[in-house]
A and B are shown apart, each in its own frame.
Chain A
Amino acid sequence: MSSSRWRESSRTNISEEQITQLLSTLRQLLPEIPHSHSHKASSAAKVLKQTCNYIKTLHREVDDLSDRLSQLLATIDADSAEAAIIRSLLI
Chain B
Amino acid sequence: VKNPSSSLKSRFITRFLGALTKTNAEDPISSPSPTRIFQRYRRIKVASNKSMAYSVRSRRIWSRALLSRFRSRRSAFSGRRSSVKTTNCTTSPPPALIKVTIDENKTAKGGLDMQTDELRELVPGGEAMDVCNLLDETAHYIKCLTTQVQVMRKIVDFYHHSK
Contact = CB atoms under 8 A, between A and B. Distances in A.
A59 B149 CA distance: 9
Interface string B45-79: 10011000000000000000000000000000000
A11 to B, nearest CB: 9
A29 B131 contact: no
Contacts, number: 207
B4 interface: no
A26 to B, nearest CB: 6
Contact of B145 (A10, A62, A66, A71): A62
Interface residues of A, number: 64
Contact of A85 (B38, B42, B44, B155): B155
Interface in B69-91: 89, 91
10 contacts: A9-B113, A9-B131, A22-B91, A48-B118, A55-B123, A69-B152, A70-B38, A73-B23, A73-B159, A89-B155
Interface of A: 2-3, 5-6, 8-10, 12, 14, 16, 18-29, 38, 41-45, 47-49, 51-52, 54-56, 58-59, 61-63, 65-79, 81-82, 84-86, 88-90
